[in-house]
Chain A
């Protein structure tokens, strides 16, 4: 006998309505912002959006599947470098010592439009996750954390070392500015939507089961490696997208930006916002990014560099001790 509880989301309408309405509302709000607020605030809101994508996708592994990964900045770096490599202006390539595109990618007189480059960045990040996932995802807890951190360090040293493609530690400047508040929030909405649907599908439920107990998940016939890889690869794809958006927003990337600090920044967002809530990472990202922009001037005025991270770390330790589930409580909508 098959018992099935009908959720309201089981109808096509129930799935797409929230997305379309949400997107329309978001579009309206952003347009309103874009008209009424000054550029600096728009800038901050855009950065918030990029980190919403990064934190939400990181939470798929760290929060929902219970795989504590510290490699997210590595995937962002991959997405950033790949997309920049494809979109970089042909006429500037020789001047800035960047190689022309090989024939297979369109030949030496071509550059790619933004969307395909962004997707390529995400896909390469996802492929990297697939390759690195096999050895790394076999590990539990602490080992996984350090091995994924090692992956991030490997990626950033490669970015420093492969001078012919990445210009090494000098980084790449004058990247075309394709990122706008609109495409950032479109991607943020897509990320949250896909995560939401995923959590209500069989693979998503399998991931939640793995988080609760690997042994009991396995005994229910859940293939651990398969679903861990699913979650790792999907997370990496969106990290790659976030990296591409980041690169085409700041217009310059350097290997050391994708550092342990950045990973730490993203890791604490879901923890503070609420790692078992669909919107927890987004809340954490908004709070922490806005806090950074408020405190940066204070830091620079008094010359006390490190204040922002100090406050983040304190916040993290306090949250871990007093309210380990984060600000928003468990809810998957």
Chain B
């Protein structure tokens, strides 16, 4: 089978769109991991919450689009704040495994709370018409795809500015180097951790909107797989490196799209399994990931 140039370009484009979503998620997870050393399974729950928040305000209450988007991001931030306050604060200083188990518990809690409120059926996710417009220029895409890519780039730029120039951003980097030293030089660790959760969670809520608009359908468990895959992206990119996790996200997006686009149709259902097989291979061959610092995983 031979693929034409436009078909290949189309697949690359689709891969970048999916990769943008994973990259944003991985970014959020990576900053939490950097500070608490925690794989925040609850991150996936925020994707679901963000998607349903947007759905409720935009489709049900019919509020304007941009206001809805801002509210969704704010809602994500609020949820992140509550998550830290109710869930993780009490466990500060306990073994890493307790945090992991708690984050699993919180994920299952939120998922089933959503299931309980919205029932298990899937919902059609609608977005404004101008975002649904098809554009056909060598390749076919919707405006929303461009929106996803540019929003991602925009967030990345803001974030890199934030982490380099902003006081809290600098403190975040300090804490990820060493919590004790950060505290010694007078950084308010609690405050920075709260801000980390707020930033990561509001980004996650926004990706919930992106996920819903890309696939046109949302359900109570939509956040699980992207959340876990975002972690795989962190490992592939290299734990401890924020640019690495973003690269990992784009890589996985491209790989999954290529599995669907270039392999026989029967392979489509293996797209998640292939990601995890790659994870195991990466851990075997190059545990520090593509761009990782030399931090051992074993």
Give chain A nearest CB distance to B285 CB in angstroms. 9
A interface, how many residues as a size bin? 35 or more
Q: Is B284 a contact of A140 with CB atoms below 8 Å?
A: no
Residue B90 CB within 8 A of the other chain: yes
Within 8 A of A (CB), among B181-229: 220, 224, 228
**Stretch in contact with the other chain, from B52-60, B91-99, B248-256:** B91-99
* Residues in B whose Cβ lies below 8 Å from that of A66: 97
Residue B87 CB within 8 A of the other chain: yes
Q: Is B276 a contact of A151 with CB atoms below 8 Å?
A: yes
Q: Is the interface of B mostly helix, strand, loop or mixed?
A: helix
Residue A160 CB within 8 A of the other chain: yes
Given that A151-B276, A158-B273 are contacting pairs, would A321 and B283 also be in contact in the complex, using a CB cutoff of 8 Å? no
* Residues in A whose Cβ lies below 8 Å from that of B273: 153-154, 157-158, 161
Bound CA span A103–B104, Å: 45
Q: Is B120 a contact of A312 with CB atoms below 8 Å?
A: no
**Stretch in contact with the other chain, from A131-139, A175-183, A233-241:** A131-139
Q: Is A317 a contact of B96 with CB atoms below 8 Å?
A: no
Bound CA span A138–B297, Å: 8
**Stretch in contact with the other chain, from A25-33, A79-87, A303-311:** A303-311
Given that A151-B276, A154-B276, A317-B87 are contacting pairs, would A68 and B100 also be in contact in the complex, using a CB cutoff of 8 Å? yes
User: Which residue of A149, A158, A305 is within 8 Å of B116 (Cβ)?
Assistant: A305
* Residues in A whose Cβ lies below 8 Å from that of B298: 138-140
Interface residues contributed by chain B, number (CB under 8 Å): 47
Residue A73 CB within 8 A of the other chain: no
Bound CA span A62–B94, Å: 17
Q: Is B266 a contact of A317 with CB atoms below 8 Å?
A: no
Within 8 A of B (CB), among A241-266: 260-261, 264
Give chain B nearest CB distance to A149 CB in angstroms. 7
Given that A143-B283, A324-B98 are contacting pairs, would A264 and B104 also be in contact in the complex, using a CB cutoff of 8 Å? yes
* Residues in A whose Cβ lies below 8 Å from that of B297: 138-140, 143
Q: Is A146 a contact of B106 with CB atoms below 8 Å?
A: no
* Residues in A whose Cβ lies below 8 Å from that of B102: 316-317, 320-321
Residue B1 CB within 8 A of the other chain: no
Q: Is A271 a contact of B283 with CB atoms below 8 Å?
A: no
Q: Is B101 a contact of A141 with CB atoms below 8 Å?
A: no
Q: Is A150 a contact of B276 with CB atoms below 8 Å?
A: yes
Residue A313 CB within 8 A of the other chain: yes
Q: Is A313 a contact of B116 with CB atoms below 8 Å?
A: no
Q: Is the interface of A mostly helix, strand, loop or mixed?
A: helix
Given that A271-B101, A317-B105 are contacting pairs, would A145 and B39 also be in contact in the complex, using a CB cutoff of 8 Å? yes
* Residues in A whose Cβ lies below 8 Å from that of B116: 304-307, 310
Residue B231 CB within 8 A of the other chain: yes
Q: Is B119 a contact of A305 with CB atoms below 8 Å?
A: yes
Given that A139-B283, A150-B276, A306-B113 are contacting pairs, would A321 and B100 also be in contact in the complex, using a CB cutoff of 8 Å? no
* Residues in A whose Cβ lies below 8 Å from that of B279: 146-147, 150
Bound CA span A313–B15, Å: 35
Residue B161 CB within 8 A of the other chain: no
Within 8 A of A (CB), among B77-115: 87, 90-91, 94, 96-98, 100-102, 104-106, 108-109, 111-115
Q: Is B108 a contact of A309 with CB atoms below 8 Å?
A: yes
* Residues in B whose Cβ lies below 8 Å from that of A43: none
Q: Is A154 a contact of B277 with CB atoms below 8 Å?
A: yes
Q: Is A146 a contact of B120 with CB atoms below 8 Å?
A: no
Q: Is B115 a contact of A305 with CB atoms below 8 Å?
A: yes
Instruction: Choose among A160, A267, A309 the residue with the greatest number of B CB atoms under 10 Å from its CB.
Output: A309
Give chain A nearest CB distance to B277 CB in angstroms. 6
Give chain B nearest CB distance to A101 CB in angstroms. 25
Nearest residue, chain B, Cβ from A138? B298
Residue A226 CB within 8 A of the other chain: no
Residue A216 CB within 8 A of the other chain: no
Bound CA span A143–B280, Å: 10
Nearest residue, chain B, Cβ from A161? B269
Given that A157-B273, A306-B220 are contacting pairs, would A316 and B101 also be in contact in the complex, using a CB cutoff of 8 Å? yes
Nearest residue, chain A, Cβ from B97? A68
Residue A93 CB within 8 A of the other chain: no
* Residues in A whose Cβ lies below 8 Å from that of B112: 306-307, 309-310, 313
Q: Mark B234-277, 1 if CB is under 8 A from A, else 0.
A: 01000000000000000000000000000000100110110111
Q: Is A146 a contact of B232 with CB atoms below 8 Å?
A: yes
Bound CA span A263–B126, Å: 34
Q: Is A320 a contact of B235 with CB atoms below 8 Å?
A: no
Q: Would you list 18 pairs from A and B whose C-beta atoms are within 8 A, ordered by A residue?
A: A68-B101, A135-B281, A136-B283, A138-B298, A140-B297, A145-B39, A146-B228, A146-B232, A149-B228, A150-B279, A154-B273, A306-B120, A310-B116, A312-B108, A313-B112, A314-B109, A316-B104, A316-B105
With A313-B109, A321-B90 given, name 18 new contacts (CB 8 A): A132-B280, A141-B97, A146-B235, A150-B228, A150-B275, A154-B273, A154-B276, A161-B269, A260-B224, A264-B104, A268-B105, A306-B116, A309-B108, A309-B115, A310-B113, A314-B109, A316-B105, A317-B109
Interface residue ranges, A against B (CB under 8 Å):
66, 68, 132, 135-136, 138-143, 145-147, 149-151, 153-154, 157-158, 160-161, 260-261, 264, 267-268, 271, 303-307, 309-310, 312-314, 316-317, 320-321, 324
Closest 5 CB pairs of A and B: A150-B276, A306-B115, A306-B112, A313-B109, A316-B105
